[in-house]
Amino acid sequence: MGLNREPTVALNAGRPAKTIYPPCALVIFGGAGALTHRKLLPALYNLALDDDLPEKAAIVCFSMEEMNDESYRAFARDGIEKNSRRRLQEGEWTKFAKMLRYVRGRFNDGADYRTLKTHLEHVDAQSGTLGNRIYYFAIPPNFIETCANGLNEAKMIRSSNGDGTFTRVVVEKPIGRDLASSTAINDRIAAHFHESQIFRIDHYLGKETVENLMVLRFANAIFEPLWTSRFIDHVQITVAESEGVGARAPYYESAGALRDMVQSHLLQVLSIIAMEPPRSTAADSVRDAKLDVLQSIRPFGEESIEKYAVRGQYSAGLVEGVPAHAYLEEDGVAPGSRVETFVALKCWIDNWRWAGVPFYLRTGKRMPKRASEIAIYFKSVPRILYNANPRAHLASNMLTIRIQPDEGLSVHIISKVPGPQARLQQVAVDFHYATSTPDSYETLLRDIILGDQTLFMRRDSVEAAWQLVDPILDAWEESPAEVPLYAAGSWGPLESALLMAANSRAWRVL
């Protein structure tokens, strides 16, 4: 096999023996909303195709819209036909549709919760779900306390009492907009649910490549010994989006890129890359190791924010040859908005393994392409032998891990160009997933049913992440400086390139 070729290798060696899933009723609050239509129902349908739902299961959707079981099934079918990664199959759809039920109700009406409770008792009798409940809050954060209180007052929350039954609650990000609001939301949930019952979902952690990071590190002897400051020069984590804010402008105006992407997605990925080997693969062992990383990141002070934190906002430009509006021209954006659509950070992890190794994080809207990647840059070989010529400095070895859209990894090494002269070049040995991977919500919903919290954020990790970004948010809000602009279709503002150039580095072009 020549090094310039790109072999396709299956990183997934197949699935283990059939998993036994406990009976349960999944109750989706906001069951007629966009998240349910685009993500949850297609994911549940694909789980049904893979025989990854309990044999005794029901999906009960609770929302305010005027629907019944049949009209809700039509709503679900539409969502699956438009958004499922696999085509709808009539026979499988017929079986799946029988699990779907709809209960119309208001989130703030106690009588409607009692109606829901009665309906679920009928479901237990008809479907054998044994009183096991998963409450999925596919709702805005301001409704979380209302729904939790309604469930509690209707006596629909069971504590973990060892009788084999369970109650779980799923909460979508964002968990607050800063540390104070996050703490308040977590307090409200904790008033009714034990931490072991709470699943804080971040869909990014369900991506197959993110899940594979631990396997890559701890199941391969060729990587883990090199995974230290002795061999690694720096790490780049990029999440680039080619689209603008679109219909999400009202949400984005209250969030921005730092809250929306860095506080959750990027810091969680960083914690997996940088964590110490956990004691075991048990959920809390893994989450303890990730928390250690977040608590070891050097806090951002006033001076380091100015030096190591860059923001930007997209102006008009071309994305893949198509004209794109500026952020300020998007529907729903306030005139003169200073919300950032791009963030770049330079982070330091002050522990023994990573002392002196910078971690660069970058995310933005309206960038040249949609791509998410982790790039591990190894230190250069000594300036002798093949690296002796200062005018022909050898490129570093590099490991790139592609999260989306082309999931896989590449090892970049130096090789001789065939021929009589000793000419060297960097080549990539490329690995791709051999088959399409499950949607992240499929992975996460399956784990929720099984009660596996490994891929879900624990309260202390959520609040540790907010502690890191709060000083940056405050500094940017108080700063009179204009937000730097970058043309749509570019890789961000000039300040982002200068952040790297200060140490003779450059962002990788994806």
- Residues labelled as active-site residues: 265
* Cα dist from 257 to 311, 402, 416, 465, whole Å: 9, 21, 42, 14
Region at 232 (left for phi over 0; alpha for psi -120 to 50; beta for the rest): beta
162 vs 375: CA distance, rounded Å: 45
275: nearest Cα among 284, 288, 265: 288
Alpha helices in 191-301 (DSSP H): 208-218, 249-257, 267-274, 283-296
Tokens of 437: 């991977």
Tokens of 359: 């971690």
Tokens of 412: 């970049």
327 vs 249: CA distance, rounded Å: 9
What does DSSP assign to residue 327?
G
271: nearest Cα among 298, 289, 284: 289
87: nearest Cα among 53, 50, 47, 42: 42
345: nearest Cα among 364, 363, 365, 360: 360
DSSP collapsed to 3 states, 463-482? HHHHHHHHHHHHHHHHCCCC
192: nearest Cα among 158, 229, 221, 224: 158
Region at 334 (left for phi over 0; alpha for psi -120 to 50; beta for the rest): beta
401 vs 433: CA distance, rounded Å: 12
What does DSSP assign to residue 99?
T
Tokens of 246: 């679109």
Tokens of 445: 């919903």
257: nearest Cα among 345, 188, 191, 324: 345
Tokens of 461: 């990790």
25: nearest Cα among 61, 58, 55: 58
349: nearest Cα among 239, 237, 504, 260: 237
286 vs 444: CA distance, rounded Å: 16
Q: Three-state DSSP class for 435?
A: coil
What does DSSP assign to residue 349?
B
